[in-house]
Amino acid sequence: MMTTTTADPMVPVPYRIARVIREIDGVFTWHLKSLDGSAFRFRPGQFNMVYHFGVGEIPVSVSGDCRDLDTLVHTIREVGPVTNAMATLRPGDVVGIRGPFGRPWPIDEVTGFDLIFVTSTIGLAPLRPLIYEVLHRRSDFGKVVICYGTRGTDDIMFEADLHRWRARFDTVVHLTVHSAPSGYRGRVGGVASAIRTARVDWPSTQAFVCRSEALTRQAVDTLGGLGVTPDRVWVTLERNMQCGIGLCGHCQLGPTFMCKDGPVYRFDQIEPLYAVREF
């Protein structure tokens, strides 16, 4: 499913960097504005192909609020030549955007359920638009719990958002770190133990997981043990996406194309494909 802001999905649209935010070490966020002032519409969970002209392009989930039509937000981690080069760009520089692509997170399908979000470190970025949207329509859902784990206090992303979410009486945030300096007052442990302390009605809970593939399995197992069956666990996968529209075959996962049929999947639907080693 694809909604495009341009006639040709293969041609990137120019966007100006309006703001660069240094997040945790090696991670930055761009606030982008279209050159012609047009709105960018997307649904939480979708991604764009982002172009640094002359250097290369990468798939990146949108990490902003889908109700803010004037600003396109992307959070990027420096992991290679393209992203390292992107990290040097400044406000005023122009990048190219193709998209949005991909299947978004379910929202209307999960009304009435308790919702639990499970993620760590930079995984909060692809989940943030979903959390924003859920909180815009808060009364459509039961309990909302965010389980967020990081290595240490230095890798906590979006602290302002976490603080705001925590301050709401209708949202619970379980933040854990793996270790912390003596005297730290917060919770220390793994994400799995954060999940177990969530007070939700497990048989009526939908879970949204954004972690590396290997740790997605771990989260699914922990949730399964608590009574959240795989048909109520939604995950986002991302691998080797290049064309974004199911043509180049690089992102193929069994019979599906992650760029088109994903990156968001209901876990029971990909479980049989999940264990396959050669992606």
Binding stretches for other proteins (CB under 8 A) = 24-26, 77-81, 84, 87, 120-122, 149-155, 177-193, 197, 212-215, 217-218, 274-277, 279
| Identity of the residue, 118 or 134, whose beta carbon is nearer to other proteins in the bound complex | 118
Cα atoms in the 13 Å half-sphere on the side-chain side of 104: 24
Nearer to other proteins, 150 or 206 (CB): 150
Q: How far is the CB of 141 from other proteins (least distance, A)?
A: 26
Q: Which residue has the tokens 């399964």?
A: 224
Query: What's the min distance (Å) between Cβ of 273 and other proteins?
Result: 9
CB 214 → other proteins: shortest distance, Å? 4
Query: Is the Cβ–Cβ distance between 206 and 264 less than 8 Å?
Result: no
- The span from the CA of 241 to the CA of 243, in Å, is 6
Residue 213 in tokens: 């593939």
177 forms beta bridges with: 150, 188
Q: What is the CA radius of gyration of the chain?
A: 18
Residues 6+ apart with CB under 8 A from 159: none
60/15 Cα distance (integer angstroms):
15
Residues 6+ apart with CB under 8 A from 147: 116, 117, 118, 119, 174, 176, 191, 194, 195, 198
Minimum separation from the CB atom of position 216 to other proteins (A): 8
Cβ closer to other proteins: 16 or 217? 217
Q: What is the DSSP letter of 279?
A: -
CB of residue 176 to other proteins, shortest distance in Å: 8
Q: Any idea what the Cα angle at residue 187 is, between residues 45 and 65, rounded to 5°? A: 25
The kind and range of the H/E element at 34 are: strand 27-34
Contact 44, 110 (CB under 8 A): no
At residue 159, the 3 state secondary structure works out as helix
